[in-house]
Amino acid sequence: MKKSSLYKGCLEPILLRLLKDNGRMYGYQMTQMVKEITKGELNITEGALYPLLHKLEEQGIVETETEMNGNRMRKYYSLTKAGKKQTAVAMDEMKAFMQSLEFIVNPKAIIG
């Protein structure tokens, strides 16, 4: 098993958390921030990131603004009103998920 396979399925809540905390971010920035926060544990690949961001935009969860930084394009993403509601739900689900997996890292938790 690849270590990275653990993150499968968690990318969406990760992105929602970033946008919730930082308001407005562009894709590359998200990859760098996650790398920093997780101390290199998680490196989001572009092939996973961009298609997901596009899906979230289609679903009306995020909206975009494209800006030029010198000659380079940046596409900024931010949560819509609906996206903020969805994020709250996702955070609750994530919390429940983490708690239900506690027994793996701390098996004694199920005894006491």
Partner DNA sequence: AAATTATGCATAATTTTCTTATGTATTTAG
Partner DNA sequence: CTAAATACATAAGAAAATTATGCATAATTT
Q: Which residues bind DNA (CB under 7 A)?
A: 1-2, 4-5, 7-12, 26-29, 32, 44-48, 50-54, 69-75
Q: From the centroid of its chain, how far is CA 83?
A: 13
Q: From the centroid of its chain, how far is CA 11?
A: 5
- Three-class HEC string of 19-34: HHHHCCEEHHHHHHHH
Asked if 21 interacts with its own copies (CB under 8 A), we say yes
End-to-end CA, the chain:
31
Q: Return the number of the residue (4 or 65) whose C-beta is nearest its own copies.
A: 4
We find the least distance from the C-beta atom of residue 88 to DNA, in angstroms, to be 19
Which chain residues interact with its own copies by CB under 8 A?
1, 3, 5-10, 12-14, 17, 21, 37-39, 41-42, 90-91, 93-98, 100-105, 107, 110
